[in-house]
A and B are shown apart, each in its own frame.
Chain A
């Protein structure tokens, strides 16, 4: 656990959130009472950020085991939200149970033991083939392809993709030994920061909707401003990583672009299912997937970028 960098992170995040609290406090104080839903939501969101930062900081201090367990729990919450939204039938009961009871623990056990070979193919090969086989053996063919596809998507998104975050701890980067936890901090701060920055730039300068059918809040101005700012943020955080500042900006750019696409795909799924949020786990934000959608898309690409160029 590299103390100096962690301390800088904790101080930095505390400062940012305190400033956010101050701004929201001043806005709420000056606003007419009762507060508009926007302000109430803003306050809830900032409070939830405190909790999330606290959870990840504690996991950072406790080390690799705690981080792996934390992300297994995040997978559980995300998978639960995903499966709740999709169509399934009574005959799917055992497949669904297997997703929670076998796939999540096994995938994270593979992360824990750093069994890279099986970690990358367990879900895309074995679960991909065996889950529909089990469904077929149950003999219920109604809306078969729809059910099977939704199950594949559920485990790929909420287990496979999410597990790439703690898998960063298994990478052996020359000259960076014992500091991999900082890579997780780098990924989460840039990607989640990018979400917030895209939102702020969109609110300040947003004119042109990017995909009005999918999301009413994503604009070109928000995307470009947010990506530029979060790449800059990545460069500033390069002291956490084995990257040079320029490399860090490039890696952050790729991760945040993937994060943006993740948010877009998650929005499309929600629109298709006719819901506004994935769930209600995080006060003010919606469900776990509402917060993690960008991380889900960014994590595997970030993982493989680092693995390919730096190991």
Chain B
């Protein structure tokens, strides 16, 4: 896998059919809905970066983009996994039009950054998962790898959009092939950019925090759920929240 197979600016028929079919499937199973919170749909060149826990993640994300944007937005995937067999490579490249990169590389032609940059230079947008792998831990988000920083240093004009993908790890957990229908949302946040003089690690941590902050339903911590002492205070807080929420809702025609 040394050469890229990105075909011009448009999809092949197979890629278009796959993309339309998968987006329809994603909607039927998850009712996926984009929430633009800080950015808007646009035809600017972008790098979408998202949390990663499932093969369905990038399908869900691209289902939230317009047909036109989808045709020029490519997910970056691991060549170690997707290049393993001819079938996998066919799925990844000929059907999903992904960009395959090697996480462990020796040959300079395999340098993932230069591969991704060459795709950007053709005018395409990218979807990347900066955790570097599917997150199977209880941690909400793993530390970011450096790719995001390197790409943005090299192409500062490309917008970095954080995207929080909700619930997909429950819909299609690692090792499962049949999705459970659960509602999913993708929250698109405000663009992140490297501040002047910002260090690599500081930037990556900040980007990670920005992404985490987009989660519309942060997990309630187990301790809070099961420790009666803490639970009491959390319930008080909850009823406070309701009161403030009910103020908002009084004028809304809610008949729940």
Contact = CB atoms under 8 A, between A and B. Distances in A.
B256 A290 contact: yes
Nearest to B181: A80
Contacts of A276: 245, 249
A199 B31 contact: no
B173 A90 contact: yes
16 contacts: A38-B252, A41-B252, A80-B181, A83-B181, A84-B182, A84-B183, A93-B173, A100-B180, A199-B253, A216-B242, A217-B249, A217-B250, A263-B256, A274-B217, A276-B245, A286-B256
Interface string A187-198: 000000001101
A199 B239 contact: no
B198 interface: no
A272 B220 CA distance: 12
A96 B178 CA distance: 11
A298 to B, nearest CB: 15
Interface string A240-283: 00000000000000000000000100110011001111011100
A81 B183 contact: yes
Contacts of A271: 238, 242
B246 A280 contact: no
Nearest to A142: B222
B256 A97 contact: no
Tell me the interface secondary structure of chain B in the complex. loop
Contacts of B238: 271, 274
A216 B183 contact: no
B121 interface: no
Nearest to B219: A87
Contacts of B242: 213, 216, 271
Contacts of A76: 181
Contacts of A215: 256
A100 to B, nearest CB: 6
B249 A80 contact: no
Contacts of A195: 255
A270 B253 contact: no
B127 to A, nearest CB: 23
B53 to A, nearest CB: 10
The interface size bin for chain B is: 20 to 34
Contacts of A311: none
B246 A83 contact: no
B180 A196 contact: no
Size bracket of the A interface? 35 or more
A38 B178 CA distance: 41
Interface in B155-207: 167, 170, 173, 176, 178, 180-183
A194 to B, nearest CB: 10
B179 to A, nearest CB: 9
B81 to A, nearest CB: 20
A97 B178 contact: yes
Interface string B222-253: 00000000000000001101100110011111
A199 B246 CA distance: 15
A280 B31 contact: yes
Contact of B239 (A80, A213, A290): A213
Nearest to A202: B255
Contact of B180 (A97, A199, A287): A97
Nearest to A287: B183
Contacts of A198: 255
Contacts of A196: 255
